[in-house]
Structure 1
Amino acid sequence: MSNTGPGSPLAQPLQRPSAARVVAYVGLFLLGAVVGLAGTLVQAAWFPGGLLLALAGAAGLFLGGSYTTGGRGGAVAPVVGWIVAVILLTTARPEGDFLFAAGGSSYLFLLGGMALAVICATVGAGRQPRDGLARLGK
């Protein structure tokens, strides 16, 4: 018996997200920006422990957002906030101030965070059938 027929929950049209889900995504976006800012400051302060702490915090938020909302959108929202914050912090200001030095730690933080974003969005909770009759992987 196929679970992709017209009466299947997987074949239903997409609906608008509820107000609570939108608020959750906005909150996760803001949390992602805060974690990106905190990670930027911590990764340079205590190498290599600060780098590992910053990446672990980002991974925890990305994966936690996915499991909290029950979908991959919960991982994407904090990832977008993290990337926006980190990209805005990489630009040099006219006064000459910047938060990222041209060292290996900064590049590991940027590339490691992006790799973790892809991993957590892929591994995170996706849309799964609700009933126990579905056999995934067949």
Structure 2
Amino acid sequence: MSSGGRGSMLAQPLQRPSGGRVAALLGLFVLGAVVALAGALVQAGWFPGGLLLALAGAAGVFLGGAYALGSRAGAVAPVAGWIVTVIFLTTSRPEGDFLFGAGGGTYLFLLGGMALAVICATLAPGRQPGGDAPRLGK
């Protein structure tokens, strides 16, 4: 059917990621964690503006990572760092200390960040099959 093409993208063997790509993904993971920590502090400090700033920063890191690496993995790495950090920050300590209060802004930050994570991972550019022809078989 095909004239010497590489075949379907799904039929291609998986390739090992390069060391630079792994380092970029780890860096994006840490950056997502830093944005979550900063957002947790800012969203409660200046309620309406701080919440919007925290969510805009999270969306910027999620979508920016996706476009920087050119794949959905670039969005998933900072999302993973963000979610792990936010979950870690929501737990209370034995002394009763916690970072998040039980308010509407906190829930908007948590749920809004998760919604942004899904949206940015969906909008991220996926892998595209290689080839010069605009249609198969040409």
When normalised by structure 1's length, the TM-score is 0.90
Counterpart residue number, 1:118 = 118
- Structure 1 range deviating more: 7-16 or 92-101: 7-16
> Secondary structure, in 3 states, of the residue corresponding to 1:43?
helix
Note if 1:32 corresponds to 2:35. no
- Structure 1 range deviating more: 40-49 or 91-100: 91-100
Cα deviation, residue 6, structure 1:
6.5
Cα deviation, residue 131, structure 1:
3.8
Counterpart residue number, 1:83 = 83
User: Aligned partners of 2:134, 2:39: CA distance in 1, in Å?
Assistant: 41
Counterpart residue number, 2:7 = 8
When normalised by structure 2's length, the TM-score is 0.90
Q: Residue by residue, what CA displacement relative to the aligned partner does 1:29-84 show, whole Å, maximum 9, x if unpaired?
A: 00000000000000000010000000000000000000000100000000000000
Q: Provide structure 1 residue ranges, at least 5 long, that are not aligned to the other structure.
A: none
Counterpart residue number, 2:98 = 98
Cα deviation, residue 97, structure 1:
1.1
1:71/1:99 CA distance change after superposition, 3 Å: same
Q: Which runs of 4+ in 1 moved over 6 A?
A: none
Counterpart residue number, 2:50 = 50
Q: Residue by residue, what CA displacement relative to the aligned partner does 1:83-132 show, whole Å, maximum 9, x if unpaired?
A: 00000000011111111110000000000000000000000111123445
Cα deviation, residue 9, structure 1:
6.5
1:17/1:46 CA distance change after superposition, 3 Å: same
Q: How many residues align?
A: 134
User: Aligned partners of 1:19, 1:123: CA distance in 2, in Å?
Assistant: 26
Q: Provide structure 2 residue ranges, at least 5 long, that are not aligned to the other structure.
A: none
Identical residues among aligned pairs (%)? 74
One-letter identity of the residue aligned with 2:31: L
Q: CA RMSD in A?
A: 2.0
> Secondary structure, in 3 states, of the residue corresponding to 1:8?
coil
One-letter identity of the residue aligned with 1:103: G
